[in-house]
Amino acid sequence: MSEDILVIVCGVVVIVVAIAVALGSLRRAERKMHESTHKFKVYSDLLNAITELNLSGDDPYKVDIAKKNLAMTLNRLNLVGSTGVLRSTNDLLDFFNEYKDKNLDTLRLHNILNTLVIEARRDLNPEHAQKIEDAQVRYRFFAPVKK
Give residues with Cβ within 8 angstroms of 145, minimum separation 6: 103, 104, 106
What is the percent of the chain where pLDDT is above 90? 52
Is the pLDDT at 82 greater than 80? The verdict is yes
pLDDT tier for residue 7 given thresholds of 50, 70 and 90? confident
Is the pLDDT at 124 greater than 90? The verdict is yes
| Cα 62 from Cα 76, distance rounded (Å) | 21
| Cα 85 from Cα 74, distance rounded (Å) | 11
Is the pLDDT at 144 greater than 70? The verdict is no
The angle, 0 to 180 degrees and rounded to 10, between the axes of the packed helices 2-55 and 83-98 is: 10
Q: Which of 74, 75, 144 is nearest to 116 (CA)?
A: 74
CA 75 to chain centre: 13
pLDDT tier for residue 45 given thresholds of 50, 70 and 90? very high
pLDDT tier for residue 139 given thresholds of 50, 70 and 90? confident
DSSP secondary structure of 74-117? HHHHHHH--HHHHHHHHHHHHHHHHTTTS---HHHHHHHHHHHH
Predicted TM-score of the model (pTM): 0.76
* Residue of 4 and 124 predicted with greater confidence: 124
Q: Which pLDDT belongs to residue 101?
A: 65
Q: Which pLDDT belongs to residue 143?
A: 60
Q: What is the mean pLDDT of residues 81-100?
A: 91
Q: Which pLDDT belongs to residue 6?
A: 84
Is the pLDDT at 119 greater than 70? The verdict is yes
Is the pLDDT at 37 greater than 70? The verdict is yes
Q: What is the mean pLDDT of residues 21-46?
A: 92
Q: How many of the other CB atoms lie within 10 Å of CB of 116?
A: 24
